[in-house]
Structures are given as C-alpha cells and as structure tokens.
Structure 1
Amino acid sequence: MVSSKVVRVFLAILLHNYAVSSSDPDPISDFCIPKTNVSLDHVPSCKNASLVTVEDFVFSGIKSPGNFRKTGFSSTPVNSGVFPGLNTLGMSFVRADFDVGGVNIPHYHPRATETAFVVEGKIYSGFVDTQNRIFAKVIEKGEVMVFPRGLMHFQMNVGDSPATIIGSFNSQNPGLVRIPFAVFGSGIKEELLMKAFGLNSKELDKLRKRFESN
C-alpha cells in the first residue's frame, strides 16, 4: 500500500509541475481596462464597462523607431503597463530596431513563446535548444521566426541598412533575462565565474564593469 506521505509528495510534485507549465490565466470577462496604472505583478480592478472607449484599445507608441544609434539596438516593450487594453488578455509585444551590425544579445523569456516578424531589413536570428543545438538563419522582410518559451535566442542586423522587428508574446508579462547581464552583472561569486569560464581576475573584472554599469 502506498503511504500517505508518498501520496502527499506526489501531489505536491504534480501541483508544482502544473504551476510552472501553465501560462497566463484565462480572462473571466471580455476585457479589463484598469482603473489605475497597471503593475505587472498583480491584476488591478477594472473600469466600469460603460466608461471604456475605443481609445483604450489603441496604442500609438511604436510608430517611430527607438533610439538605436548609440548602442546599435533599441527595444520598446509594449505590455499592459503602457497599453492598458492588453490587461488580462495574455499577450504583449515589442518593437526592436537595429542599426547596421546591431545586436540583440542572447536572452530568454521565462514565461512566453515569442514570434518575431521582420518589418524591414535582414536579421541573423536563432535560438539554442536544451540539447545545445542551434537553429539559426538570416530572415528578411516579411518573414517570421518563432522562439520557443524559455529558450535562449538572439538577433543581429546583417544587412546594409537599419532593420526593424515586431515581436509578440503569449504572455502579459513574458519576463526578460539577458544572459551576459545575468551572469556577469548579478553578483555571482567571482571564484565560481573564473572556474566556469576559464577567466582570470583581470578578465572577469573587465566583464563585470561592463555589464554592471548597464
């Protein structure tokens, strides 16, 4: 006979797996336009439906490119924090602009799959799976690439003119972990990083200064 302790442990594992694999909760109404500014870590109270207008569902903040000239890359995230009409709908998106040679560094979104649509330009784009296989190619205007949830991905403008991508996410709050900043800018113990990456103290200090200052 299976002991009650084993059953409790098994149920705990099932609940944990459900929690980490589920996406945004389904809405329980047509929409929820917040009464106040949205915080991405909780669901706010909604306006009375009679006070909602079409303007609550229109966003104009990504008509123009971001300022990518200084670093070669800029991104403008659009979530319910800036576009309240997205609240409770389980989606968000981003505009990314690249100068020639501009790079969107390796990163991942822990809570969402992303589709990236090339508006202009040529983008070397790809991701790495959990078997350390790379899936990458140059995609051009009108093409789309999908990045599975939680997998590291990257992009680089390989054309001879600026490029633009619109990315969409199946989460209101997809999250963003930029690999170099997470590794070298988060305060991980120096000895561990030196051993993990074969760096000496001087090399590690240079990387830390670079990514801690951003």
Structure 2
Amino acid sequence: MEKTKAIFFTILCVFVSLSSAIVDDFCVADYSFPVGPAGFPCKNPANVTVDDFVFSGLGVSGNTSNTMFNSAVTPAIDTKFAGLNGLGISMARLDIGVGGVIPLHTHRVSEVIIVIDGTIIAGFIASDNTAYFKKLNKGDMMIFPQSLLHFQVNVGEIPALAFVSLASAHPGFMFTSSSLGSNDLPTEIIEKITLLDAKQVKELKNIFGGSPN
C-alpha cells in the first residue's frame, strides 16, 4: 500500500510539473517595469509576437577601434532580447582585433565559447589559483566554470570572432580593470586592497570614469 502511495505521489508530482511547464511556456520581458532578482515581469501574452523571440544583433560586427582593448562584446541578454527572460540562457558575440583582448572578467554563471574565425588563447583561473589556458582555433570550444576569472586574447594574424553562451538570461559581467577604475572608492583604499600605487589607480580612474579622489 505504501509503495502504491509513493508511486501515485511521484506520478502526481510529474503531472504537476508538466502542467506548470505548459502554463508557463515563456515570460517575455515587460520593459515597462524594472528588472528584479528573478528577471523582468511577464509581458501580457496577448501582446507577445514572434519578434519577441528573435534577435538580429549578433550578425553585425562590433566596433573594436573605440576601446583600449581592441575588442567588442555584443550581448544578447534579457535587457536587449525580451524572449530570453526567465529561460536561463543568453549569448554574446566577441569581436577581437589583432592583438586585442577580452580582459580578465567574471560573471555568476558558466560560459561556453566557440571560435568562429581566427586564433585565440582562452583561459580561466580556478579558486586554488591554478590557471587553465589553451590556444583555440576555428571550431574549438571551451568551458569557463561559473564565477571564475577568465579571458580571451587574439594571438593570430587576423581579427578573431567567437560566440559565447551563458547559463543565465542576465549573467552579469565584472571586468577587473573597469571595476577598479569606475567606482568611487578613494584612491588610498584601492591602494591598500590591491598592489597598485596611487599613480596607477588614478590612471585607471581616468580611463574608466571613476571618482578622482
């Protein structure tokens, strides 16, 4: 009898789960409300169209000439692609000029990269400070585990193109250099919490627009 109850309960849970999935096929972002920890509120299904599930921005090359890193990141995340909201996935296009880099950065979810053109060195640093890095060519893929610092460097003779997929519609990005240089922490505090001197800190603040104090 107990076994029968257990089987019935399991089947019931499955049907409840399936029912929820069918009712909540999607939650297209309603941009008239601010984003919260769980994403955007859902757009009225009556106002949803196929265009909410299409994003064409990744077909256009990013401008690599206007950054000091000679690279460009074009994201397709929930703030730009309404249909991704709540689905736990996003993408981005990486354009990396010759000698360019996607500098050391992190985000709160795992990432997969696939190289479409060119040659890059990609890698990450584990929490025990072990560095895992490798030269990647066209068609190669690599995984970056969640929250770990990682990077990409173009070591080829032509511009590199890669696409990444991230396990969140709103993965969050923190670039080490810009995070240090764009905040309003006093210079002396940044000196103490890093090995940078005052001149280096002020140079970062000047580049990334942080408070000059």
Q: Equivalent residue for 2:78?
A: 80
Q: Is the 8 A contact 1:92 1:169 kept in 2?
A: yes
Q: Equivalent residue for 1:157?
A: 154
Q: Equivalent residue for 2:28?
A: 33
Q: Equivalent residue for 1:22?
A: none
Displacement after TM superposition at 1:31 (Å): 1.1
- Give a deviation string over 1:136-165, Cα, whole Å, max 9, x none: 011111111111100000111111111111
Query: Does residue 179 of the first structure (1) align with residue 176 of the second (2)?
Result: yes
Query: Does residue 207 of the first structure (1) align with residue 204 of the second (2)?
Result: yes
- Give a deviation string over 1:61-86, Cα, whole Å, max 9, x none: 11121111232101111112221111
Distance 1:203 1:68, change over 3 A: closer
Q: Equivalent residue for 1:121?
A: 118
CA distance in 2, matches of 1:138, 1:204: 32
Instruction: Please show how residues 61-140 of structure 1 align to structure 2 within 5 Å.
Output: 61-71=57-67, 72-110=70-108, 112-140=109-137
The amino acid that maps onto 1:87 is N
Q: Equivalent residue for 2:17?
A: none
- Give a deviation string over 1:41-80, Cα, whole Å, max 9, x none: 24313332x5544333222111121111232101111112
CA distance in 1, matches of 2:30, 2:203: 46
Displacement after TM superposition at 1:179 (Å): 0.5
Query: Structure 1-normalised TM-score?
Result: 0.78
Q: Number of residues paired by the alignment?
A: 186
Q: Is the 8 A contact 1:113 1:150 kept in 2?
A: yes
Q: Equivalent residue for 1:55?
A: 51
Displacement after TM superposition at 1:32 (Å): 1.9
The amino acid that maps onto 1:126 is G
Give the root-mean-square deviation of aligned CA atoms.
Answer: 2.2
Query: Structure 2-normalised TM-score?
Result: 0.78
Q: Is the 8 A contact 1:38 1:81 kept in 2?
A: no
The amino acid that maps onto 1:33 is V
In percent, how many aligned pairs have the same letter?
Answer: 35
Distance 1:38 1:128, change over 3 A: farther
Distance 1:135 1:90, change over 3 A: same
CA distance in 2, matches of 1:128, 1:80: 27
CA distance in 1, matches of 2:111, 2:83: 20
- Give a deviation string over 1:109-128, Cα, whole Å, max 9, x none: 02x11111111111110000
